[in-house]
Amino acid sequence: MPILSPEVFIKKQVAAVQEYSILSGRAIADIFSRPLYWGDIFTQMDSIGAGSMPIIIMSGFFTGCVLALQSVTALKEFGAVSMTGSLVALSMVKELGPVLTGLMVSGRNAAGMASELGSMKVTEQIDAMRALGTDPIRKLVTPRLIATVFMLFFLTIIADFSGIVGGTLVAVNMLGLNASSYLHSSYSSLVHGDIVQGLTKPIFSGFIIATVGCFFGMRTTGGTQGVGRATTQAVVVSSVFIIIVDFIVTRLMIGIFGS
């Protein structure tokens, strides 16, 4: 990889941000106009939603298990073991559920979008679509954007539920806590603002995953090596963006709801 001067490097990054903004704006605008390719949307929903379900359930479940184990160890020192359910529920719903779901789907689907569109780009299939009068962004990007945002919302709910179930099983069967008090603590600790915060984050994460994955796929160059490079960049950039946006959204929500 050639070494670029700072000026050239900065120009390339600014141009990339501009291209990404244009692609994202056009993909959003295409949602509100016709035609919408419903067949492609449902295909992507099946791939993203049903395809990601096992890994989301497993990651959420075992995260909840680990949270329960670690929470009891820490809370014993303060005599607050009864707060384990509250800690697990709040951690899963407000933070770990949305972020883990976003990162898992990013690793699976942002890479898939980048590799699929990148292969189409290097084999000139996207150019052929333009020649036939089909808008590649409307056909390829918008269905993935709609499907990712829609399905990530429900995948996050599943991850939250799996985490709470995992924490409950560990707390009751391994740590000897009372199931009724544990579940009551989990339920009573969650307020409206916590749920809104936890279900707002996947909307932003889904947008990032779809647009970043499609962006790197659509600008792939350099044959098969370029496809591999685009796939790696899509996963890394989308994961970093998800974490950064998570911080921003958390700060805004704390400002709005106070917790």
- pLDDT of 93 > 80? The answer is yes
The 10s digit of each residue's pLDDT in 134-165 is: 899 999 999 999 999 999 999 999 999 999 99
Mean pLDDT of the chain: 89
Sign of CA dihedral 175, 178, 179, 181: negative
Joined together, the tokens standing for residue 62 give 């075992």
Does the model's pTM come out above 0.75?
yes
pLDDT at 18: 92
What are the start-end ranges of the H helices in the chain? Answer: 6-31, 38-45, 51-75, 84-91, 97-105, 111-122, 125-131, 136, 142-169, 179-189, 192-218, 223-257
Average pLDDT of the residues in 192-200: 88
Residue 259 has pLDDT above 70, yes or no: no
Q: Residue 186: pLDDT above 90?
A: no
Q: What are phi and psi of 176, to 5 degrees?
A: 75, 20
Residue 258 pLDDT greater than 90, yes or no: no
Domains of the chain, by residue range, sit at: 14-257
Residue 248 has pLDDT above 60, yes or no: yes
Q: CB–CB of 193/258 below 8 Å? A: yes
Instruction: Give the tens place of pLDDT for each residue, 43-79.
Output: 999 999 888 999 999 999 999 999 888 888 777 777 7
237: its two tokens: 């950039």
**Across residues 92-102, what is the average pLDDT?**
92
Q: Is 38 exposed, middle or buried (0-12, 13-18, 19+ CB in 10 A)?
A: exposed
Residue 251 vs residues 73, 95, 208, 257: alpha-carbon distances, Å: 29, 12, 19, 10
